[in-house]
Amino acid sequence: MKAYYRLGLSVSGGPMKRRLMDILACPICKYHPLELTVKKEDEKEVLEGTIRCPKCNIDYPIEDGIPNMLPPEK
């Protein structure tokens, strides 16, 4: 599961570019589009922030430019 999401994201562009929001869907409910909150970014990518699924009420963190779209551990 973990490998699957990491691979999917690296294939689709690696670092968290804003345009990644066009293709990202919630890994749990497949909702799209998700809500991006940016805490820190440079001219190319979002470095820190959260990607929120309003349906699941879950925030997926973006750390060091890498979005962590793993479902929270239960």
How many Å is the maximal CA-CA distance in the chain? 36
* Residues contacting 64, CB < 8 A, separation 6+: 47, 48
Residue from 24, 53, 62, 69 in contact with Zn ion (CB under 5 A):
53
3-state secondary structure of 8: helix
Q: 26 vs 46, which CB is nearer to Zn ion? A: 26
Site string for Zn ion, 3-42 (x = CB under 5 A): -----------------------x-xx-x-----------
Q: Is 56 left (phi over 0), alpha (psi -120 to 50) or beta?
A: alpha
Q: How far is the CB of 43 from Zn ion (least distance, A)?
A: 30
Which residues lie near Zn ion (CB under 5 A)? 26, 28-29, 31, 53, 55-56
